[in-house]
Structure 1
Amino acid sequence: MIITKVLNNNAFVALDDNSKEIIVMGRGVGFKKKAGQKVELMPGAQVFSNQDQSLNSKMKEVIANIPGEYLDITEKVVSILSKEYNKKVHDIIYVSLTEHIQSAVERYTKGFEIENPLLNEIKRIYREEYEVAVRALELIKDKFGVEFTKDEAGYIAYHIVNAELDGGMNNVAEMTHIVENILNIVKKYMNIEYNEESLHYDRFITHLKFFAQRILCNTVYNDDEEELFSFLKTKYPQCYDCMTEIKKFIEEEYMYKLTESEQMYLIIHIQRIVSAC
């Protein structure tokens, strides 16, 4: 590959063997390098090759202008997500989370911290992402001597979810709104308190997150399950009635019509979650 621009000691822009622009990052990869130089990929270096030119431009800007210590935090977060949670995230996290961490640290040094009004919802709905975010706070503390409250972990978790969804932060907010409202409908209608340590609760949350994504993307899920749906409707009438309240909420707020398959799986999960309480 041929270097076209050195961003700093730890990153450069290059053209690969197919003349495609790539961004290469890694400890010392840009040290004493210059444009026009032909180089081999160093072991451990990361290569970013995005079709989205606006994202490429933003990544180059962030890498060139933000101190590498902030990017190091993001890289460690991505590594934890991949190795320990088997989660893949979009490259946008290298822009959004890095910029966020820098801004948060700068605010903290000026005596400003922002309360997170959705912290409880984030902890409940995005449990694994929140766990990683709490670990990110420790990384930030070790690097910068800054000790954030758990509100900041909520914001970091938000950026992680955003990168998982490959969407805008508005989608994360809407998805959280959908899941939280459904949880409240079930809790109130079935008169239960959730056992948040149960496997059925975890599975219900996972189902609701995918369900919310389909709603926001207007992607219809349908199987030929008419016979089973009729059976469940009769066997679990209260769960069916609860599901109709959810159906009403979704149709009124998002103009999304639930298929019989979607209704059926909601009934199944409601019944399981009730049995676990």
Structure 2
Amino acid sequence: MKIKKIFNNNVILLVDDNGDEMIVMGKGIGYNKHNSSTVDFSQVDKRFVLEKGVSDKLIGLVSEIPTEHLELSNEIIEYAEQQLSVKFSDNIYITLTDHISFALTRFPEGLFVKNALLWEIKQFYKAEFEVALKSLDIIETKMGVRLPEDEAGSIALHFVNAQQKGQDMKQTYTMTKIVNDLSNIVKYHFGIKIDESSINYSRFLTHLRYFAYRVLHDELIPDESDSLFEHVRDKYPESYACAKKMIHYFENNYSKKLTNEELVYFIIHIHRVTSREN
């Protein structure tokens, strides 16, 4: 492969004989080089071999921002994947890099955007938020800038988003709002303080997240002829009364009608998460 563009001494764009492009990073890899030079791959620390559409967007982004921001974002992504034991979708190299670069650009101007979902992110995505806080430490060490905690919330959502089949960030915000609203419906209906460290609450939140995803993608579990709905409804009447409030919530806010099969799981999870507290 030959050099097509040199972004700086550490980041360059390569192209092969078929016209396929690759961004590579390595200390001094672009030093004293010129276009059409070949590359010593023993100097390469990171290769960005991404999907075609993602690769084009990343090349465009790197052309517009300081390349140090790409290096910083890459370090954060690798750290997060290791700590969370996940493999993010390629799109995070664009979304997170762009977000971090924009945040660092705003900082000297005193422009801060409050994260309206910060509390919810802390509650529902604790692991991602802890890693995001560490990301602020990495940014401070590399750039000498301490971004506010609100930015940790936004970075955490990028981690969450990159685990959800590459959905857009707006949908991730909507999912987080749904989880928070449904959780509050349960708390207020029963008038209790739920133990948020319990395994039942953890299971409940997991169910809510996957449920919110299915709602937004019109993938609700269909009704079945041998449904357990009537049995579960009669066995846990108070949990069913709470579930009915969720029905109204989705009808009023999202024009969605829940299936009885979805209600079966809701009623069971509501019973589990509230019976211990009661």
Structure 1 pair 98/47, CA: closer, same or farther in 2 (3 Å)? closer
Q: Which runs of 5+ in 1 are unaligned?
A: none
Q: Does the Cα contact within 8 Å between 2:182 and 2:246 map onto a contact in 1?
A: yes
Structure 1 pair 72/198, CA: closer, same or farther in 2 (3 Å)? farther
Offset, 1:140: 1.5
Q: Does the Cα contact within 8 Å between 1:81 and 1:88 map onto a contact in 2?
A: no
Distance 2:14 2:213 in 1: 36
Offset, 1:122: 1.4
Q: Which runs of 5+ in 2 are unaligned?
A: none
Q: Does the Cα contact within 8 Å between 1:24 and 1:45 map onto a contact in 2?
A: yes
Structure 1 pair 102/190, CA: closer, same or farther in 2 (3 Å)? same
Q: Percent identity?
A: 37
Q: Name the amino acid aligned to 2:67.
A: G
Structural RMSD (CA): 2.5
Matched residue SS, 1:197: coil
Offset, 1:26: 3.9
The equivalent residue for 2:52 is: 51
The equivalent residue for 1:148 is: 147
Structure 1 window deviating more from structure 2 (99-108 vs 9-18): it is 9-18
The alignment covers a number of residue pairs equal to 275
Offset, 1:6: 3.2
Distance 1:28 1:213 in 2: 44
Distance 1:3 1:155 in 2: 35
Structure 1 pair 57/273, CA: closer, same or farther in 2 (3 Å)? same
Offset, 1:188: 1.0
Matched residue SS, 2:192: coil
The equivalent residue for 1:134 is: 133
Q: Write out aligned runs for 1:3-14 (5 A).
A: 3-14=3-14
Structure 1 pair 182/145, CA: closer, same or farther in 2 (3 Å)? same
Structure 1 pair 27/225, CA: closer, same or farther in 2 (3 Å)? farther
Matched residue SS, 2:228: helix
Distance 1:232 1:174 in 2: 29
Offset, 1:98: 2.0
Q: Name the amino acid aligned to 1:62.
A: L
The equivalent residue for 1:218 is: 218
Spell out, residue by residue over 1:135-179, the C-alpha distance to the aligned partner (whole angstroms, 9 max, x if none). Answer: 111111212222233222112222323333312221122112211
Offset, 1:276: 4.0
Query: What is the TM-score of this pair, normalised by structure 2?
Result: 0.86
Distance 1:95 1:256 in 2: 32
Structure 1 pair 148/276, CA: closer, same or farther in 2 (3 Å)? farther
Q: Name the amino acid aligned to 1:101.
A: I
The equivalent residue for 2:264 is: 264
Q: Does the Cα contact within 8 Å between 1:185 and 1:242 map onto a contact in 2?
A: yes
Distance 2:29 2:98 in 1: 22
Matched residue SS, 1:22: strand
Offset, 1:127: 1.7
Structure 1 pair 255/75, CA: closer, same or farther in 2 (3 Å)? same
Distance 1:41 1:259 in 2: 55
Structure 1 pair 127/226, CA: closer, same or farther in 2 (3 Å)? farther
Q: Does the Cα contact within 8 Å between 1:4 and 1:14 map onto a contact in 2?
A: yes
Distance 1:4 1:167 in 2: 31
Q: Does the Cα contact within 8 Å between 1:62 and 1:99 map onto a contact in 2?
A: yes
Matched residue SS, 1:5: strand
Matched residue SS, 1:194: coil
The equivalent residue for 2:62 is: 63
